[in-house]
Amino acid sequence: MTDYLSTGQLPEDYRDLKNTVADFAQTVVAPVAAEHDANHTFPYEVVAGMADLGLFGLPFPEEYGGQGGDYFALCLALEELGKVDQSVAITLEAGVSLGAMPIYRFGTEEQKQKWLPQLAAGRALGAFGLTEPGAGSDAGGTKTTAKLDGDQWIINGSKQFITNSGTDITEIVTVTAVTGERDGKKEISTIVVPTDTPGFVAEPAYNKVGWNASDTHPLSFTDVRVPAENLLGERGRGYANFLRILDEGRIAIAALSTGAAQGCVDESVKYAKEREAFGRPIGRNQAIAFKIARMEARAHAARAAYYDAAALMLAGKPFKKQAAIAKLVASEAAMDNARDATQIHGGYGFMNEYAVARHYRDSKILEIGEGTTEVQLMLVARELGL
């Protein structure tokens, strides 16, 4: 990635992947995006296509059913998908980063062998249940509990805004829960809950502003019993481990956001060349041309930021600050570009069948999910010693 920043040329394997996903996005995803958005339906046929391409297994070793690639490969795929349909892109991002990655990072060998092959193949989806009505970034607000009863955990509580949690192919949800107390503070652990466990309920899906083809539910747990060996990672390290997952996930969300920002540029350039007003294409008007130029600059800066964070991550170097910067810059670029693209399209930009209208509705959550803009600013400030 550092080579790309200086030369503008990706290595061949990354370039081939990017081109393959770009073709899939344009020929398979884009034609059905408006329909799934309008009907609020989960795009099972698109997800199956992504599974066939091996996208869900990109960053995982072949021994667990993965493609033997890396996290940057996943990010490239997310950028291309994000250009045309953020709902599809977040389905992949959450399925890999939040669903499968915790199993890979913190699971026992038995847990990896049990769950990763299905998740990496895209035949099943996983989800991560962190957020609650009064808890998300504030771990101290966690109220879901898990009590050890012999060789079983008994889980009670609720979660909200959980992506990929209620599809027909959702197999597991990893949840954070209070498992005791340490030094006067809540001990928070993570436990894997198969979705067919009695007492687990994915409540009716949310009616959202955007990401309408993405699956999002509140969850409830009523005396849910799972084996003690479903504890993921060390007891009491659940929240700390998930913070690491979030650091990685911010790079992935930045890649998705970059795709959204670039998609708005691409749509605006096309429209500005075709749309005529007062006898000439509107792109020949400096006001429009300059607006699109600024949009391109935002997308370029966002891409450079997530490439840089990914390079540090893969090199095994500290990347927390760079991941937060990438997520901050890219999510704001997506929202700003969506607003400008809608303005450029005029009345057409307000029609839902147009991609820029979907980006306008979809992009706001990029400034909220997996750490709000304010959280990113807080993280950067802390890294600066403030």
Cβ–Cβ under 8 Å, residues 238 and 190? yes
Question: At 34, is the secondary structure helix, strand, or coil?
Answer: helix
Instruction: Report H helices in 12-70.
Output: 12-24, 30-39, 44-52
Burial 342-362 (b: 16+ CB within 10 A, else e): bebbeeebeeeebbbbbbbbb
- For this structure, is 374 an active site residue? no
Would you tell me the crossing angle of helices 238-274 and 355-362 to the nearest 10 degrees? 150
Selected catalytic residue, list 109, 370, 374, 383? 370
Three-state DSSP class for residue 371: coil
H or E element: which one contains 222? strand 216-227
Whether the Cβ atoms of residue 335 and residue 329 lie closer than 8 Å to each other = no
Of 316, 264, 326, 359, give the one whose Cα is nearest residue 75.
Answer: 326
Beta strands 216-227 and 231-232, pairing class: unpaired
Residue in 273, 260, 247 with CA at minimum distance from that of residue 80: 260
Contacting residues for 318 by C-beta, under 8 A, at least 6 apart: 312
Residue with tokens 């389905």: 91
> In the structure encoding, which two tokens stand for residue 157, read together?
């509580």
Q: 157 pairs with which residues across the strands? A: 221
Query: Would you please indicate which residues are annotated as catalytic (active-site) residues?
Result: 370
